[in-house]
Amino acid sequence: MKITVQKEMPLLEYLYANLDMPKKRIKQYLRHGSIFINNNKVTQYNYQLYPGMTIQIDTKTKTKTNLPFEIVFEDDNIIVVNKPSGLLTIATLKEKEKTLYHMVREYLLTKDKTAHIFIVHRLDKDTSGIVILAKNEKIKNMLQSNWNEIVQVREYIAVVHGTLPTKEGRVEQYLQETATNLTYVSKNNSGKKAITNYKVLKENNNYSLLQINIETGRKNQIRVALNSLKHPIVGDKKYGLKNDSAKRLFLHANRLKLYYAPLKKDLLFEVSTPHEFKNLVK
């Protein structure tokens, strides 16, 4: 089943309005990864549609054992996935099952009842993009203990408010946390050093599309760095504009390059920039 989008609207709302199908079944197709927007698998209910996009629904293949997001790479030791925005990496006190960890674990268990999974690194709930998980503790420890040495590229794409006067720059800061887990820039150079490099790829009167490379992996460092430049990330309710009406955080981990010891070579993982980023900066 293929549909051409005629009106700007969130995905689930559009499907409800345009499909002669029970709402429960539509949600099942989304949850099981059977819906594709412009050939990309989408599971987010609030994914923003724009006129001209194509929606394809796989109504024949049962995909319950598949992940509802892209697998970038998988072998006997690791699995690399493209995490959607709005999904927790690991469980919290309030949420145990709607997490990246739980979904990947369930997926692996359908193939191997003895499968294990370990988090190597995380992304914020609202940040999308590349996440690596290990299938055994040895690989997890090997990657984590040498993370800063083996990782050569940590690249993100972001859309920020406004146009930056300097189109390429480097932000060096020292970051600390409040008792409520809010990261802030230290005024006396105490705390953890954070280095964020940015380059403007495209801009219009209201927004700028940035390529970002980080040399350190501090909590919320990109969000804090861009906000300190007075150009917060679109959709950042925590560090950005309080009246921001964007449906998601416009921050996406699109490239990760590291030395992978089991294959004795460098691996580059790369995922495409979400359509909504490009649409905002036309």
Q: Decide if 67-145 and 154-254+276-282 have a common fold.
A: yes
What is the percent of the chain where pLDDT is above 90? 72
Question: Which residues partner with 233 through β-bridges?
Answer: 160
- pLDDT of 144 reads 96
Q: What is the mean pLDDT of residues 37-50?
A: 86
Question: pLDDT for 2-28, tens place per residue?
Answer: 889 999 999 999 999 998 888 888 888
Strand 71-74 versus strand 78-83 pairing type:
antiparallel
Question: pLDDT for 214-255, tens place per residue?
Answer: 999 999 999 999 999 999 999 999 999 989 989 999 999 999
Please state, in angstroms and rounded to a whole number, the distance separating the CA atoms of residues 269 and 153: 10
According to the per-residue pLDDT averaged within each range, which of 26-30, 91-95, 195-199 is highest?
195-199
Angle, vertex CA 219, rays to CA 215 and CA 223, nearest 5: 80
Neighbours of 51 (CB within 10 A): 10
Name the CATH superfamily for 67-145: Pseudouridine synthase (3.30.2350.10)
- pLDDT of 64 reads 46
| Residue 165, pLDDT above cutoff 90 | yes
Greater pLDDT, 66 or 88: 88
DSSP string computed for 162-200 = S--SSSEEEEEEEEEE-TTS-EEE-TTS-SEEEEEEEEE
What is the DSSP secondary structure assignment for residue 261, as one 8-state letter? Answer: G
Q: Does domain 154-254+276-282 have CATH number 2.60.130.10?
A: no
Which sign does the torsion angle of CA 147, 149, 153, 154 carry? positive
| Residue 62, pLDDT above cutoff 60 | no
What is the percent of the chain where pLDDT is above 70? 98
Active-site pick, 76, 124, 126, 236: 124
* Average pLDDT in the chain: 92
Which position has the token pair 């804090």?
224
- pLDDT of 43 reads 82
- pLDDT of 223 reads 97
**Burial (0-12, 13-18, 19+ Cβ within 10 Å), 162:** middle
- pLDDT of 63 reads 44
- pLDDT of 24 reads 82
Greater pLDDT, 100 or 23: 100
- Collapse the DSSP code of 36 into the 3-class scheme (helix H, G, I; strand E, B; otherwise coil) and give the result: strand
Spell out the domain ranges in the chain.
2-57, 67-145, 154-254+276-282
| Residue 124, pLDDT above cutoff 70 | yes
Q: What is the mean pLDDT of residues 139-143?
A: 97
Name the CATH superfamily for 2-57: RNA-binding S4 domain (3.10.290.10)
266 is catalytic: no
- The candidate with the shortest Cα–Cα distance to 238, out of 129, 100, 124, is 124
